[in-house]
Amino acid sequence: MAKWLLKSEPSDYSIDDLQTEGITLWTGIRNFQARNFIRDKMQKGDDVLFYHSSCKHVAVVGRASVVSEAYADPDQFDQSSKYFDAKATKAEPKWFVVDVAFVSKASKPLPLKAMKAAPELSQLALFKQSRLSVIPVTDAQWDYIVSQL
């Protein structure tokens, strides 16, 4: 079972939104490396750290779980969607999603500043690929972050 950090701007979709909905389609990924992680690596049962980005309090704010295998992002076919992709076809989709379910909200979020200060997280891919919205997390990194939530 793999572990991931998924980034979302809370003004677009927050941990509270996921808690209310229970399960969501993780849509809108338009970076090829992030798409490849979803399409080729994510599996049902994988663990997720939910991370609020591009906001006043950037932090890991909760946990979720991948509850589906990857499938074609329906927004790429919807001309009214900001995620429409004219080059994608149903026979050959370009973009993929998974369904993500709420697990828990952090009792105290783990801020980015605290993560950067932790020697246990010095190799966290988030610091090397800060613009990537789907980031693999090692078991040791996962254990440290979860212990701080």
- DSSP letter for 140, please: H
Are the C-beta atoms of 4 and 42 separated by less than 8 Å? yes
Copy the structure tokens of residue 50: 């939910």
Q: 62: buried, middle or exposed (CB in 10 Å: 19+, 13-18, 0-12)?
A: buried
* Residue 143: its H or E element: helix 139-148
Please determine, for residue 130, whether its predicted confidence score (pLDDT) is greater than 80.
Answer: no
pLDDT class of 131 with cuts at 50, 70, 90:
confident
Please determine, for residue 5, whether its predicted confidence score (pLDDT) is greater than 90.
Answer: yes
What is the CATH topology of the domain spanning 3-148? Answer: ph1033 like fold (3.10.590)
pLDDT in tens, 42-89: 999 999 999 999 888 999 999 999 999 999 999 999 999 999 999 999
DSSP assignment string, 76-94: GG-TTSTT--TT--SSS-S
pLDDT class of 26 with cuts at 50, 70, 90:
very high
**Residue 129, pLDDT score:** 78
Mean pLDDT along residues 97-116: 97
Output the CA torsion sign for 53, 55, 59, 64. negative
Q: For residues 76 and 66, what is the distance between their CA atoms, to the nearest angstrom?
A: 21
Residue 143, CA distances (Å) to 3, 116, 137, 146 in order: 10, 16, 10, 5
Q: For residues 102 and 57, what is the distance between their CA atoms, to the nearest angstrom?
A: 20
Please determine, for residue 128, whether its predicted confidence score (pLDDT) is greater than 90.
Answer: no
Residue ranges of domains in the chain = 3-148
Mean pLDDT along residues 33-37: 96
Its pTM stands at 0.93
